[in-house]
Structure 1
Amino acid sequence: MLFTFKRIDHVQLAAPKGSEEMARAFYSGILGFEEVEKPEVLRARGGVWLRAGENQLHIGIEDPFTPAKKAHPAFEVEKLAELKKHLTKHEVPYLEDDLLPGANRIYAEDPFGNRIELLEWRR
């Protein structure tokens, strides 16, 4: 092949119009993502860009909006047990799943109903 895929640059999830503050409260306030400034030319579209480590998550505005219930980003985390306590403290429900061999994982939903997988590989 004459081309190479290097990495995923970002993942985008949709959110309803006017929900940027809810996205910031959840992804930055609860999950600890850092907001990334959007380029000026894209700001009028709304939404929020975020980063956790090397991973970027873009929240784009979609009207009409439908949450992603099956398609989802999966974030590898350290200390999943602590994250579960943190989510419980902030009243964010999650579903435990033990079907992936070698991983502890949970599923949660963002404030818009988008599915998010959070997993920690057993070493």
Structure 2
Amino acid sequence: MKLHHVQVSCPPGGEGSARKFYAETLGLLEIPKPPLLAARGGAWFADDDFELHVGVEADFAPARKAHPCFAVDDVDAYAARVGAAGYPVEWDDTIPDVRRFHTADGHGNRVEVRAQLTSR
């Protein structure tokens, strides 16, 4: 089994902010949504192994606990990019031997970025 995608939400009209965070800051590629789903708004992003979908919710509330986690080769470089783009960078050392930080996308959804795992 393999994870295909994770979905987070944004308020109506929030696609531009989602693009700024997920595409411009994190470097994910925006991919087209199927036409029937595109009519609902939102945006889809992808990397080699997964997709992240941003759906529109009329009664939007940011996810402050549930979150996607991105494993990256250079977590310090990502922290610098995220911070330079104006997003929070909160380092977390509660898991031994795992270098990671939490941030929030442009709508306040929690996002974790961590160093690539070398083993399980």
TM-score (norm 2): 0.93
Q: 1:27 aligns with which of 22, 30, 46?
A: 22
- 2:46 aligned partner: 51
Change (3 A) 1:40 1:78: same
CA distance in structure 2 between the aligned counterparts of 1:122 and 1:46, rounded to whole angstroms: 34
Secondary structure at 1:101's aligned position in 2?
coil
Q: Larger radius of gyration, structure 1 or 2?
A: 1
Secondary structure at 2:99's aligned position in 1?
strand
CA distance in structure 1 between the aligned counterparts of 2:57 and 2:95, rounded to whole angstroms: 32
Q: Is the aligned partner of 1:107 residue 2:98? A: no
Q: Which runs of 5+ in 2 are unaligned?
A: none
Q: Cα deviation per residue 1:73-93 (whole Å; 9 max; x = unaligned)?
A: 111111111111112221211
- Runs of 4+ off more than 3 Å: none
Matched residues, percent identical? 37
Q: Which runs of 5+ in 1 are unaligned?
A: 1-5
Q: Is the aligned partner of 1:83 residue 2:67? A: no
RMSD across aligned positions (CA):
1.2
TM-score (norm 1): 0.90
CA distance in structure 1 between the aligned counterparts of 2:47 and 2:58, rounded to whole angstroms: 27
Q: Is the aligned partner of 1:97 residue 2:79? A: no
Q: 1:16 aligns with which of 11, 15, 23?
A: 11
Kindly indicate whether the alpha-carbon contact (under 8 Å) linking 1:102 and 1:121 is maintained by their aligned counterparts in 2.
no
- 2:115 aligned partner: 120
